[in-house]
Structure formats: C-alpha cells, structure tokens
Copies of this chain bind each other. A is one copy, B any other.
Amino acid sequence: MRSNVRITTPLVRSALQSIQRRSFSASVGRQAQWGFIGLGQMGYNMARNLQAKLPSSDTIRVFDINATSIQKFANETKALGSGAAVKIAASAREAAEDAETTITVLPQPSHVKNVFGQILKPPLSQEVVSNPDRLFIDCSTIDPSSSREVANAVHTTRQGRFVDAPMSGGIVGATAGTLTFMLGSSDSLISRVEPILMMMGKRVIHCGDQGAGLSGKLANNYLLAINNIATAEAMNLGIKWGLDPKVLASLINISTGKCWPSEINNPVKGVVEGSPASRDYSGGFGISLMKKDLGLAIQAASEAGARLELGDRAKQVYDAAEQQEDCKGRDFSVVYRYIGGAE
C-alpha cells in the first residue's frame, strides 16, 4: 500500500500523453481507438474534452442508451472540425470492441455490470485472450464491491485491465476539464491511465489498488454529507441566536468548525459570493447525488462491518429534503432551507 498520495500535475501531462499515444500506435500498428460509454451530464462533457484533445488520427466510438445524446455529440464534434474522429457505436460492446481504451461514465452499479456483461466475451472461449491489453477506466461512482466484481470479470477472463476513477468537480469541472479523479489501480497501470484522465481533469489522486478510488471518494463524500448538514444546523443556530451570518461564518472559518461547507459552499445566501445558496441553490452538487453517494457509503460500510453513528440519520435528512418541493433538484446545501433557516 502506498504511503502518500500521488498527484499528477499538468506539467508532466503532455509528456506522458505523447509517450502514451506513441506506445498505443506502436503496439497495435495503427492509430489509437477509443471507446466512450455513457454520455450523461458528466460523461458528455468529459467525452467532449477527450475528443477535442486527441489527434485527428484517433477515433472515438461513443455509445449511450439515449440516442439523442449520441447524435448531439456527433453533430457538435463535427461542427468543431478538430480532434479525434467520432463514430457512433450501435452498442456498448461495439464501442469497446476495437478500443485500446474504453471509458465508462454510468449512473448506477447495475448499469456498470450490465455494460460489462455486454462488453466481455464469454469466458474460456478461444477469443478470450484476443485483447488482454485493453484498458477499461470506469469513472462511475458505484460501490467498491460492484466495481471489484466487474474488475474480477475483466481480469480473470484476461480481456483487459480495469481501473476505477470516480471524479469530483461536478458538471462545471467536467465541462472545464478541471475534474479531480480518485484512481484505484495497480501501480503498473498508473503511467498509462494518468495522462488519459488528465485530458478530462486537472488532478489524479492514486488512492491504492483497484477499488481504492471509489473507497476514497465514498469516504470523503460520507464526511461531506454530514459536515454539510452540521454546517446548515450551526449557521441556523447562530442566526436564530441573533448573530450576523457573515460574522458567524468568519468566526467559524478561523476556528475549529471550519470545513468545506462553511467556507466554500456556505448554505446561507450572501455569505459566499457565487455560492449555490446565493442563487436559490441552483447548480452545484445536486441533493440526489449526495443522497446516492451517502447510500453507497452506508451500503459499503455495512458490507465491511464498519459501524456508523450518524449515517442513517443523515440519509433520512437528504431523503426528506429531496421530497420537499422547494428543495428538490437543488444543491445539497439546500438542507439549510429544509431545516427552516432564515433566507
């Protein structure tokens, strides 16, 4: 296990990229083939950045169950007139079939399992070892167990290598190409994976072996989910007691209560300029996504026998807040509104 976090900076990115691309070409004797499966809100923008940064000699095959998304992607990249050639795949399997690298960005564990069920050829056939160097980068946020299950299926049938690389940074980061990826991967694959992720983000954190990226993300987001509720409560408390919101936030942010929700994403309007709270909680990190990550963490905690004290109560808060009409679909800091905070 690694003793410190390894982070790739943009400085080494282009060097690694060109080395990487050459090795593809050399090993397979042709220009690089890419697969991209899942053109949802995150995947679409990630694929846009990847496509734009690849050379025109490369080909990227895209697939999504939503045909409109694929067509839109094809049209937009065609209009751009640069970057890798885009081809529409008829299935997830077709997108990945000839690709050295396939990236998946899917919403739920079931989608990831289903897609890899299609991609992987039946085990033990003659074809099994036809392409053992295929790289699968799964950027979906799912539970580590499901991820390991899929990784095992890929590895035991020798149909490629599978790494998990969930991200943080939201749609804004996906669009701007400034995502942070939490990578779970064997050391030997890092130099191959990192330059690819750096075409869609600005930071790669190697958390450990396969599955560790998801574990890191879920542990972090578990903490975030609770800190966010606690911040909403603490701000509401102080304001109800008569404190000025900005004074209270300033006090907390130079004290032991300081955390990301108090400092960057303060849930009270006007405290942090440009925060979701200052625009009626629009944009930001949707409450349903926070609820999803919290649910995955609770599930994985249960599987690992890790005792949680606050998790279930926090989940109830997000469940109930999401049901409330004036909170639904908004940034997760809307919990402040849910508990009755003055606006």
Interface positions of A (Cβ within 8 A of B)? 1-5, 7, 144, 168, 180, 182, 205, 207-209, 211-212, 215-216, 218-224, 226-227, 229-231, 233-238, 240-244, 246-248, 250-252, 254-260, 262, 264, 297, 300-301, 304-311, 313-314, 317, 339-340
- Number of this chain's copies in the assembly equals 2
* Pair B246/A3 contact, Cβ less than 8 Å: yes
Knowing A222-B234, A246-B4 are in contact, say whether A241-B304 is a contact too (CB < 8 A): yes
* Pair A234/B244 contact, Cβ less than 8 Å: no
In the assembled complex, 22 residue pairs joining A and B whose CB atoms fall closer than 8 Å, in A order, are A2-B247, A3-B244, A4-B247, A5-B247, A144-B241, A207-B247, A208-B243, A212-B242, A215-B238, A215-B242, A216-B238, A216-B251, A218-B241, A219-B257, A220-B252, A220-B257, A222-B257, A237-B301, A240-B305, A255-B260, A308-B339, A309-B339
CB distance from A200 to the nearest CB of B (A): 17
Knowing A233-B222, A234-B222, A235-B219 are in contact, say whether A240-B5 is a contact too (CB < 8 A): no
User: Which residues of the other chain, B, contact A262 by a CB distance below 8 angstroms?
Assistant: 223
A307–B340 alpha-carbon span in the complex (Å): 7
Residue of B with least CB distance to A230: B226
A233–B222 alpha-carbon span in the complex (Å): 8
* Pair A255/B168 contact, Cβ less than 8 Å: yes
* Pair A251/B300 contact, Cβ less than 8 Å: no
* Pair A251/B182 contact, Cβ less than 8 Å: yes
**Beyond known contacts A212-B247, A220-B234: 16 more, CB 8 A cutoff:** A212-B242, A215-B237, A215-B242, A215-B243, A216-B238, A218-B241, A221-B256, A221-B257, A223-B231, A233-B308, A236-B306, A237-B300, A240-B301, A309-B313, A310-B314, A310-B317
Residue of B with least CB distance to A304: B240
* Pair B227/A259 contact, Cβ less than 8 Å: yes
* Pair A256/B220 contact, Cβ less than 8 Å: yes
Residue of B with least CB distance to A320: B309
CB distance from A199 to the nearest CB of B (A): 21
Residue from A216, A221, A255, A260 having most chain B Cβ neighbours under 10 A: A255
Residue of B with least CB distance to A312: B313
